[in-house]
Amino acid sequence: MSLRRVVVTGLGAITPLGKNVAEFWDGLSRGVSGAAAITRFDASKFKTRFACEVKDYNPDAYFPPREGRKMDLFTQFAVIASDEAIKDANLEGVNKDRVGVIWGSGIGGLKTFQEECFNFAKGDGTPRYNPFFIPKMIADSSSGNISIKNGFRGPNFVTTSACASASDAIVAAYNYIRLGMADVAVTGGSEAAITEAGVGGFNALRAMSERNDDPLTGSRPYDKDRDGFVLGEGSGALVVEEYEHAKARGAKIYAEIIGGGLSSDAYHITAPDPTGEGVVLVMQNALRDAGIAPEEVDYINTHGTSTPLGDGAEIKAIQKVFGEHAYNLNISSTKSMTGHLLGGAGGIEALASILAIQHGIVPPTINHFTDDPELDARLNFTFNEAQKRDVTVAMSNTFGFGGHNTSVVFRKLRD
């Protein structure tokens, strides 16, 4: 059985840098920080009091009030981004039995869960819960709402693998299409964890930056003084499609997905393996699946969360996999601008990789002030300013708590 080719025909986004793909790319290419003081709740007593929120978000601009109230914020973000991607791909007239929705979210409806538990705790002990509590909270409400709104009857599910969730969804969609189980899929991921529980929980893990005096520069991947990630929210969506199907209907094609790799650290529930062996394996698996040599990769959008251990392990792994070619790569962490979208990260970082191919521009790693002596200064981290480069092949890396590692490889379309 020959595997079918899979291409990207639609893009959508709602992010801390902008509420659509054009605004998102403008912020990325200009090196804008999306961090600011938290507005979603009173964070004055928290160790971290800033995050990368979607700015000036009003659900009434996107949903009738009754409809919006039935969805948690993470699902609202999923529907908004997928709406843009579906419109961009112009899916009118496609066979909806052959269109799937494969989505990623690491946490799901945390805001809803927290609110319902708080309300119960404030009461007299009588169980009074919103009838939409469970449908709003569960992670698969995202893919369910997308399919219901559009009538897509193909494969429909959600992947949950912490910060690798959206990338796992993209790889699953890629595999379903190339194996002939669908012709089109809406995929990506979303997260909305900027809540008391989300911020407090990650603070307890000592995982987040506490640079409250300078939130704009809180996310500092690969900087000597990095002190943890900055929490982000939002969604990135792709429409992926079998190549001949896309070509037959005259769809515009942004890039081709040529490989996906998965691996496990099998090391620790939160800490990365400091040897980077799981990360080495996932990139090797992705390259093998893509059928390309390491020397063919131009750009890696790294996981790069701004944590002391994680950044170093990933860079060591890149050097092991790519050898001398590592010095010819552009490397950047767009989390320096967007913050960490957790399970949604792979969605917007796939967009960043595809748009780098489209525009011939590598987005930067901002907030670099001091070289880390543990990291090889000869590598091109694309510090502080975007760089023009003809990007033919881009790799997107995402790694999650539990040791989940995923790499996706995109290539400029070849006829």
Structure token digits, residue 387:
């760089």
| Single-letter code of the amino acid located at 252 | K
Residues contacting residue 307 through CB under 8 Å, at least 6 positions apart: 207, 226, 228, 229
Evaluate the CA torsion angle 35, 37, 40, 44 in order and state its sign.
Answer: positive
Concerning whether 163 is annotated as a catalytic residue, the answer is yes
In this structure, are strands 255-264 and 387-388 parallel, antiparallel, or unpaired? Answer: unpaired
Give the pair of three-digit tokens for residue 262: 């998965």
Catalytic option among 163, 280, 331, 350: 163
For residue 8 the two structure tokens come to 């990207």
- Residue count of the chain, please give it: 415
CA–CA separation, 308 and 61 (whole Å): 40
The two structure tokens encoding residue 331: 């490397």
Report the distance separating Cα 401 and Cα 342, nearest Å. 10
Q: What sign for the dihedral angle of Cα 27, 392, 105, 382?
A: negative
φ/ψ (deg, to 5) at 137: -80, -40
Active-site residue set: 163
